[in-house]
Structure 1
Amino acid sequence: MIRTRHVLLSVLLTGALTACSSASGATGNGGEATEIRYQGWVGTVTYPELAESLGYLGDLELKWVGNTISGPQDIQATATGQVDAGGAFNGAIVKLRASGARVKAVAGYYGIDEERYTGFYVLDGSPIKTARDLIGKKIGVNTLGAHSEAVTKEYLKRGGLTPEEADKVELVVVPPVNTEQALRQKQIDVASLSDILREKALSRGGIHPLYTDFELFGPFTAGSFVLREDFIEENPATTRKFVEGFAKAVEWTQTRPREEVIAKYKEIITKRGRNEDVSAIDFWKSSGVAGKGGLIDPKEFQTWADWLEREGDIRPGQVEVADIYTNEFNPFGAGSAS
């Protein structure tokens, strides 16, 4: 196991998750929920927010309850009823399902390709050149037990480190908006940077990648949005409307010119009035989602279920991949269930 600990930086997260009841507050026809509670991310736009702006959610309303920097926290909040929908790395969803949480993935929301990937960067001139050089060093990631940790474990394993040696590599949690700064101030030795924050950091120079998830795994949809199974059962019409709108928003980013997507994201960020910097959106390039409209491929979960079994994080056969996700509500899946 890689050693992990939290580090406190001198920046507070905006809009921390507020206390919520375990059920949606607003109901409509047939007693189904008409309001979807969710968490946002600083300086970026989630697919529910994009779907709402594009008019794809119809009469469904979104209720923002705060921001998060952690996929595992987001889906845990979904599992416990603090929010109605959340997204995370598919491996984290497998682990949450293995713990007994009754959540189900309904659409992919981020992925890896040549344009959108997570890189692990060091300063130019750093003595760190190989996986072995990471022994005793600190890697800044947005959260533990998720995408960056899984990628790092694989890199260390392929680099020939024993479990005992890998245990000497330390993962520290740093808010994504502060990770570049932490690297440049040498608070950490390696920075996990992705998407627009990566591109913005690269534009300033002075850093280069040690490894990337794209180099290790190639293109794939990496994370999905989940709903609780009881929410789906109690709100079938709302679920379909939400997932359809979500999927159409994903497909919109997959098919529209980059400039149009950037303009729409800036409009949404400015309109919501959360005192955010919109400049980073200029570096947006791709959703990275492999399936049209976020359609889920079984291998996007099977890969991580198999990997977690090999790592000893879950027992063989502890989870059935077919139980973790569904394409039933996705309009691009011709209504076929997983």
Structure 2
Amino acid sequence: MSHEFRDLLKQVGSGSHTSKALTRAEAAAATRMMLTQTATPAQIGAFMIAHRIKRPTVDELAGTLDAYEALGPTLPAIAPDSAYSRHALVLSCPYDGRSRTAPVTPITALVVAAAGVPVVMHGGDRMPTKEGIPLIELWQQLGVDLCPHSLEQAHTLLNRTGLGFVYLPQHFPLAHGLVLYREQIGKRPPFATVELLWSPYAGPHTLAMGFVHPPTEEFAKGTFALRGQTDWITVKGLEGSCDLARGRTAIVGVNHPGQTDRLLLHPRDYGLEGDDVELGDELTLGDRLLDVLAGGTTELAKTALWNAGFYLWQGGVADSLAGGLAEAQTLLATGKALAKLEEFRQQSADLTQPLIYSHS
């Protein structure tokens, strides 16, 4: 048993009247002990439940992110001579995936990368408590298996294609080791919020994170301020993802040095209003996304256009949302986004091909 961890657990788990928030340094220490499992399983589970009930503070979230940065993976900045050396976009979506609405995040990434803006994503496998379809499976349905890549290979893929993925089981096994506790406690711990705030990319970037509940957005603002993250976007997205809804006004916060904007974006103003597309049969989702990339005109295609246009605008490709939508339409209609998928698929496969040596 870790006596040091027990003292920190007592602080957060003493009840509504006597519990005490951890300092940033204490939260970092507690997170390190959980990631390395210096703390016992009983202590880790108790901490997760107590912390959820107490609710984390911005100092605690910042400390947890400090530990993630110290112990976790970081993709190096894209090489200066790469075609994708622009300011990157990091898409942070809930690791427990989607279970009700059809995701278009991979199409957003492909369109944005086709326009020359690099995109970094991160996540793991099916995860409690939702057990929804995660990003890694969406890419697999599109013919891209990102699971085997080392972090070095993921960086190579980012340099070559403008698309990078940090995969929890392969690149951050310490964090993956805590997933089992989510199933056992039956609730999302504060780590689920930390994953939305985490950016595993070292180069200049804008972090886009989805959220559901307003307090999450407020936590994000305070945590970003403490950690010096000045470029960020918060999206009240579909199931807390980075995907903007079409069935309601999109609520978005955008922060850049010296400027913070609150955006209320109405799909009907751009002819894109409509119900949000249901997830339906998971096994056909890849085919539906491929149909969008091939120029389909389904409701899912409108959702993809709405999102790709927004992120092209935020990525600096267009000066307005209308301009971003027009550029997204062009990239989809001309097949450039589909070509980016084919490039991503081929480059990913090449990295995992065994070397063949010839003997003279």
What is the TM-score with the length of structure 2 in the denominator?
0.28
Larger % of helix: which?
2
What is the TM-score with the length of structure 1 in the denominator?
0.29
